[in-house]
Amino acid sequence: MLISVITIGGLAALTGRTSALDTGVGKLPKLGYNTFNAFGCQYDEDVVLSQAKAMKDLGLVDLGYNSFLLDDCMTEKTRDSNGRLVADAEKFPHGLKRLTSRLKSLGISSSAYSDAGHWTCAGYPGSYGHEAQDLESWEHWGFDYLKYDNCFIPFDNVTQENVYGRYKRMADAIADRAAKKPHSKPFQFSLCEWGWQQPWIWARQLGQSWRVNGDIKPWWSSIASIINTASFVSSTTDFYGRNDYDILEVGNYGQGEPHGNMTYDEEKSHFTAWALLKSPLLISANLTNITRQSLEILSNKDLLRINQDPHVGGSISPFRWGINPDFTFNETHPAQYWTGNSSYGVVFMLLNTLDTTEVMSFNLTESWAIRAGRLYDVYDMWSHTHNGTAYRNLTVTVPPHGVAALLLNDAGPEQSGVEPYCAGWWQCSYPNGTYYSN
């Protein structure tokens, strides 16, 4: 990737900071592992422990990937005589409690999966009508996070509730448990509603994250479609509540999905977008044979620190769509120019949605977070290099389906008397009221 900038003067960092009220669990996006896209239902105790050990040995746990989600298929297909969930004895011969204890010894917490309907999506017992009972089982087994799906919905005359009401049943059970055990860590609640009823509007009242799209697939068209959705809902993410764009497909060459066919640049674009959109980052790849390139992508510390920013909870949002008019809904060619604030500088993501290498340019003040009349140090979050100082505009060469992830920090005022006087000359005027014309 080539960056063209003008180098002027010295550097001085400027960071914007906001404070957040600590209202409980889930302030920042969850980082960890998800079994489903890599293994489907074909996982057991040995698979879980081998992936967890790989997380530790590859340095992912130290980077913050410290949660392990058993996504469906972890119980028997029938409850016991008291209506309780029963752990799959064949998959977990030593029990789930022993398994979560071993994960904890590696620095990894455990996450459960269930469903707001009669059954999970893979046909295992759902939690409708068993909310408090199942929560008790998960707590006993050592789980502290719940992904809650939306399959096998009871008839309307049974529930007399819409999707909000069905999810609220579990949210209420979690709240009741927290009230009864004030010194225990509250469950984190992740709603997997698929975006059909606009969860970004209401789900914040119930949980810490909510799915806004259908299941992700390991190819570019799926990634582009989800980014298109994100361009219209990204502003609803903040501390304690965020859009979940589904599992990371970086390095996914497992058994649960067809062989991924994303290029290296497409994997970079996928990870960059998810990290800067402040989505949960849940790896779903067989880590025992992951490629060096995919591991490097997942280990990008610059992007991870933006995702886990302790002071700025909001995500990036589009400031220009690019090849399409602004606010165009296009699943194959989503918005290309994105920006946001962070504790470490102003964030820019330039996404090339075309099949050819493109030169992408923008005016710095197109970003709301940029100060007019200032110079900016340009830091590339993929090459991890400082690439000079930008004056008014920035031009980047981006490969097909590739991405540029830039961090800009204030480097002092522009030189005086430089024309044009205004980077955005429209409505710019002299003190006497005469408009300036570029």
Angle CA 177–123–176, to nearest 5: 10
Residues 215, 265, 302, 380: which is the catalytic one? 215
Helix axes 96-105, 131-141, angle to 10 degrees: 50
279, two tokens: 């989505």
Pairing between β-strand 337-340 and β-strand 317-320 as defined by DSSP bridges: antiparallel
CA distances from 120 to 123, 124, 142, 363, 416 (A): 5, 5, 20, 49, 65
C-alpha to C-alpha distance for 49 and 45, rounded to whole angstroms: 6
Pairing between β-strand 393-398 and β-strand 358-363 as defined by DSSP bridges: antiparallel
By the 8 A CB rule, do 79 and 86 touch?
Answer: yes
State the amino acid at position 332 in one-letter form.
Answer: T
3-state SS class at 146: strand
Nearest to 207 by CA among 219, 193, 197: 193
Active site residue 88: no
Q: Which residues contact 309 (CB under 8 A, 6 or more apart)?
A: 28, 342, 343, 344
3-state SS class at 276: helix
User: What number of other Cβ atoms are within 10 A of residue 289's Cβ?
Assistant: 10
104, two tokens: 């904890």
Q: Give the N- to C-terminal CA distance of the chain in Å, as an integer.
A: 31
Please identify which residue in the block is written with the tokens 């269930």. 114
Residues 72, 88, 134, 149: which is the catalytic one? 149
User: What number of other Cβ atoms are within 10 A of residue 431's Cβ?
Assistant: 5
Nearest to 351 by CA among 386, 384, 399, 393: 399
Active site residue 149: yes
List active site positions: 149, 215
